[in-house]
A and B are shown apart, each in its own frame.
Chain A
C-alpha cells in the first residue's frame, strides 16, 4: 500500500515523558474520523535530538517539523496539513521560534511578574509631550479632584487607599496631608523630595525623566487638598536630564493652564518651582531639605515642630517623594478600594525596586507589596551570575540592612523588612553573592555616613566615625576581642541620641550584618581571616607549583618585584614584599595564582 503522508512521532525519552502517548491517540482518532487511516501512516521514531523543543512531530513528504506539540494542536495539523495540504506555519519549529523572537518586551519573564502603577508611563510615552500624558488619562485626576471633590474628600481618599511614603520610613500619606490641611495659615507649601540620594536607587530619576507630568499633577492635587498654592521640587543637580524634562513639563502645564490661576475654571491657583540640590545626602531628610530650599546649609532641625505645622519658611508644609506622588493620580481616578486591594495588610499598592549588584537582570522593577525576595531575585532578576551562591540582599541603602538567604521567602513589605532588621528605604536592592565580605560592606556604608554626616549633632558626627575606625581595624586584621561589643554599644547610643533619621539609622548596616553574619566578624577578629577573600590585609597570594608553567609573566607585571623564579620553573611570591594588588592573578594565563584567606 502507498501512503500519501507519514507522521513521525518522536519516541525519545524526553518526548515520551511530555505526553507523546496522548498525541498518538489523538492522531489515530482524528485520522479515523477523516477516513485517512489508509492514506496516512503513523510511525514512532527514535529521538530527533530536539528534546528542548519536544514533543516533536514530523510530517513527510514535506519534512515539516512541528515542535512543542500539544494534543490540542493535532486537530489543526490533521485538518490543515494532512487534509488540505497546507503547512500550519505557526506550529512549526521555525514558526514558533520566530514568534518567540517577536514577542514584546512585556511578555518576557522580567516583566511578567511586575505591576506598573508608579512607572505606568515610563518607557511608554514621550516625556516631553504633555499631549501624550493627557492621552494616557493625564490630568484627569486633577480635574476630577478640583471639580467633583472637596479637599477633605481628596484626603479621605488618600487615607483609605493606604498609600504610605515611598521614600523611606513609610508614613501614611493621607495622614500627613490631613495634618497639614488642619494647620491654620495664610500660606502653605507642597514639596517634593527628588533628591534621590540612596546609592543604588534610581526609580525617582526614572519617573522624573520618563513621566514628569505625573509628579506635577500629583503635587497640584496635594496643593488643593491642603490649601497650598505654591510647590517646590527639590531635585538632584546630578540628574541634568531630569531637570531639563521637568522644566519642559512645567512650562507645558502652565501653557495649558494646568498650573497657574483658576485651574479647571475653579478658584484654585497653584504653581511650581524647581530647586537644585548641591550634593548633600542629608538633604534627603525632610527638615534638612527645607532648610536647603531656604538657601542655607542643609542641616536638619529638631522635630517637633513637625513640617505639617512649621515647615518651609516656618509655614505648614508637606513633603513626599517622587514615587509616592506618582501613585496619587491613579488612586484618585481608580479609587482607594482598587489601590488597597493590591499588596499586604499594612502595605498597599506596589513598590519600585532598583535591582543591582550580583544579579543577571539588573534594572527597575515594580512589584505588588508582598512579593517575595525570591521571586524578585530569581523569577524577575534571573538569578545570580556565574553560578555563584546568593548570600544576602541589601535594602534601604545606608539606613537599611542585609537580608540573608534564610529569609529569602519573606514577603516584602514595610513591616517585614523592619522586623528583619532592614527597611524599605527608597527601594535600592543590591544583591550580594558569596564573594562579598559582609564586614567590608558594613564598613562601606559607615564610610558613606561618616562622609555625609552634616556635623550638627555629635552622636552622628563623632559616633559614626568611631564605628568606622573599629571596622577599619577589623578589616585590616587588627581587630581585638571586645570590638563587636563596642560596636553594639556605640550603635545603640547613636541611634537613640541622633537628631535626624540619618544618624538614627546609620548603625543599621552594622547591626544587621552582626545579626546574620557574626561569624564573619569573628573570623576577621579571631582567626585573622576574611572568609569571602575580600579584605586585602587578610589575604595571601600564592602560586600553585603544579599549575605554574614558569613563563614569568607574573614577575614582569609585579609592581614591587615580589615574585621571583627561573623561566620554566615554578615562581614564588614573597608575601613580605607583596602589596596584594592582584596584578599577577589577572595576567596569569594558567590560573596558577590564587588568593588564600
Chain B
C-alpha cells in the first residue's frame, strides 16, 4: 500500500499510519502505543484503521476491537471539534460538578455524553483530572476551567461557539 497521489489526504494518512505501526512493531506489547498514535492521527479509531493495524501487525481484528472497546480513551466515533470533559471525581462531585454537567447538557441540548449535531462539541464525563484544588473543574480540549458555578457555563460555551 503506498501513496497514489500527493493530494489524496486519505492515502497520505494511511501512509503515516503505516509509519507509526512500523516504528512500534519491534517492541513488546506494541498494540496500545500504536492505537494511541493512530487515534492522535485520525481523532478516532474507525474499523478501517483497525483493519490496517490488524493486517500489518498480524493481530486478529477481534483482539484489536476488544482492546479498543476496553479502554475509554479509545473512541470508535468521531469526536467534536471541542471536547468538553466534566470531572465527576469525588472532590468535584462533592463541590457540585453534577450541576455543571446538567447545565452543559442543557446548553448543548444533549441527553448525556455525546456529540452535538453540528459536530462542534462533544461532552464527556470523566474521572478526576487531578486538579482537585480547583474543583469543580471542566476541560475543553487542553484548557482547564476551575471553581465553576452553573451560571458560568453559557459564557464559556459561547466563547467557543463564536470562535467556530
Q: Which residues of B contact A49 (CB under 8 A)?
A: none
Q: Which residues of A contact B32 (CB under 8 A)?
A: 275-276, 278, 292, 295
Of A356, A436, A586, which one neighbours B132 at CB under 8 angstroms?
Answer: A356
Contact (A237, B132) CB under 8 Å given A200-B89, A356-B91: no
Of A292, A362, A428, which one neighbours B133 at CB under 8 angstroms?
Answer: A362
B135 in the interface (beta carbon within 8 A) = yes
Q: Which residues of A contact B150 (CB under 8 A)?
A: 586
Most chain-A CB neighbours within 10 Å: which of B67, B74, B89, B142?
B89
A94 in the interface (beta carbon within 8 A) = no
By the criterion CB–CB under 8 Å, are B128 and A200 in contact?
A: yes
Closest to A364 in B: B133
A116-159: CB near B (< 8 Å → 1, else 0) gives: 00000000000000000000000000000000000000000000
For chain B, residues 62 to 112, give those with C-beta under 8 angstroms from any C-beta of chain A.
63, 66-67, 70-74, 88-91, 93-95
A423-453: CB near B (< 8 Å → 1, else 0) gives: 0000010101000100001001100100010
By the criterion CB–CB under 8 Å, are B135 and A281 in contact?
A: no
Contact (A279, B73) CB under 8 Å given A295-B67, A296-B67: yes
Complex Cα spacing A295 to B58, Å: 13
By the criterion CB–CB under 8 Å, are A237 and B130 in contact?
A: no
Instruction: Looking at the assembled complex, report how far the CB atom of B85 sits from the nearest CB atom of chain A, in whole angstroms.
Output: 9
By the criterion CB–CB under 8 Å, are B28 and A278 in contact?
A: no
Instruction: Looking at the assembled complex, report how far the CB atom of B32 sits from the nearest CB atom of chain A, in whole angstroms.
Output: 5
Complex Cα spacing A162 to B89, Å: 32
Instruction: Looking at the assembled complex, report how far the CB atom of B164 sits from the nearest CB atom of chain A, in whole angstroms.
Output: 25
Instruction: Looking at the assembled complex, report how far the CB atom of A189 sits from the nearest CB atom of chain B, in whole angstroms.
Output: 10
For chain A, residues 342 to 367, give those with C-beta under 8 angstroms from any C-beta of chain B.
354, 356-358, 362-363
Q: Which residues of A contact B63 (CB under 8 A)?
A: 296
B140 in the interface (beta carbon within 8 A) = no
By the criterion CB–CB under 8 Å, are A354 and B29 in contact?
A: no
Of A237, A277, A444, which one neighbours B90 at CB under 8 angstroms?
Answer: A444
B33 in the interface (beta carbon within 8 A) = yes
Total interface residues on B, using CB and 8 Å? 35
Instruction: Looking at the assembled complex, report how far the CB atom of B21 sits from the nearest CB atom of chain A, in whole angstroms.
Output: 13
Q: Which residues of A contact B51 (CB under 8 A)?
A: none
Complex Cα spacing A531 to B44, Å: 45
Q: Which residues of B contact A445 (CB under 8 A)?
A: 90
By the criterion CB–CB under 8 Å, are A280 and B128 in contact?
A: no
For chain B, residues 43 to 65, give those with C-beta under 8 angstroms from any C-beta of chain A.
63
Complex Cα spacing A199 to B130, Å: 8
Total interface residues on A, using CB and 8 Å? 47
Q: Which residues of A contact B18 (CB under 8 A)?
A: none
Contact (A238, B129) CB under 8 Å given A294-B29, A356-B135: yes
Contact (A357, B91) CB under 8 Å given A199-B127, A199-B128, A275-B32: yes
By the criterion CB–CB under 8 Å, are B90 and A202 in contact?
A: no
Most chain-B CB neighbours within 10 Å: which of A205, A239, A295, A356?
A295
Contact (A278, B133) CB under 8 Å given A199-B90, A199-B127, A296-B67: no
Complex Cα spacing A281 to B128, Å: 11
For chain A, residues 217 to 236, give those with C-beta under 8 angstroms from any C-beta of chain B.
none
Instruction: Looking at the assembled complex, report how far the CB atom of B19 sits from the nearest CB atom of chain A, in whole angstroms.
Output: 19
Contact (A200, B91) CB under 8 Å given A279-B72, A298-B70: yes
Instruction: Looking at the assembled complex, report how far the CB atom of B14 sits from the nearest CB atom of chain A, in whole angstroms.
Output: 22
Complex Cα spacing A182 to B37, Å: 38
Most chain-A CB neighbours within 10 Å: which of B29, B33, B71, B72?
B29
A413 in the interface (beta carbon within 8 A) = no
For chain A, residues 532 to 583, give those with C-beta under 8 angstroms from any C-beta of chain B.
none
A486 in the interface (beta carbon within 8 A) = no
Q: Which residues of B contact A294 (CB under 8 A)?
A: 28-29
Instruction: Looking at the assembled complex, report how far the CB atom of A361 sits from the nearest CB atom of chain B, in whole angstroms.
Output: 9
For chain A, residues 274 to 322, give those with C-beta under 8 angstroms from any C-beta of chain B.
275-281, 292-299, 313
Of A200, A354, A394, A454, which one neighbours B70 at CB under 8 angstroms?
Answer: A454
Instruction: Looking at the assembled complex, report how far the CB atom of B60 sits from the nearest CB atom of chain A, in whole angstroms.
Output: 12
Instruction: Looking at the assembled complex, report how far the CB atom of A398 sits from the nearest CB atom of chain B, in whole angstroms.
Output: 8
For chain A, residues 497 to 519, give those with C-beta under 8 angstroms from any C-beta of chain B.
none
Q: Which residues of B contact A170 (CB under 8 A)?
A: none
Complex Cα spacing A279 to B74, Å: 8
By the criterion CB–CB under 8 Å, are A281 and B67 in contact?
A: no
Of B33, B132, B142, which one neighbours A362 at CB under 8 angstroms?
Answer: B132
Q: Which residues of B contact A436 (CB under 8 A)?
A: 94
Complex Cα spacing A96 to B151, Å: 42
Closest to A455 in B: B70
B156 in the interface (beta carbon within 8 A) = no
Instruction: Looking at the assembled complex, report how far the CB atom of B97 sits from the nearest CB atom of chain A, in whole angstroms.
Output: 11
Complex Cα spacing A354 to B33, Å: 30
Q: Which residues of A contact B30 (CB under 8 A)?
A: 295
For chain B, residues 13 to 41, give those with C-beta under 8 angstroms from any C-beta of chain A.
28-33, 35-36
Question: A205-B130, A278-B35, A452-B127 provided; 8 other pairs, C-beta below 8 A?
Answer: A199-B93, A201-B128, A280-B71, A296-B29, A354-B91, A356-B132, A428-B90, A454-B70
Q: Interface on A for B, CB 8 Å cutoff?
A: 196-202, 205, 237-240, 275-281, 292-299, 313, 354, 356-358, 362-363, 394, 397, 428, 430, 432, 436, 441, 444-445, 448, 452, 454, 586
Q: Interface on B for A, CB 8 Å cutoff?
A: 28-33, 35-36, 63, 66-67, 70-74, 88-91, 93-95, 126-133, 135, 142, 150-151
Q: Sorted from nearest, which 5 A-B pairs have the closest CB atoms? A: A199-B89, A356-B91, A278-B71, A295-B29, A279-B72
22 contacts between A and B (CB under 8 A): A196-B130, A200-B90, A200-B132, A202-B130, A202-B131, A202-B132, A205-B130, A237-B36, A275-B33, A277-B73, A278-B73, A278-B74, A280-B72, A356-B94, A356-B132, A357-B94, A358-B95, A363-B133, A436-B94, A441-B94, A444-B90, A444-B93
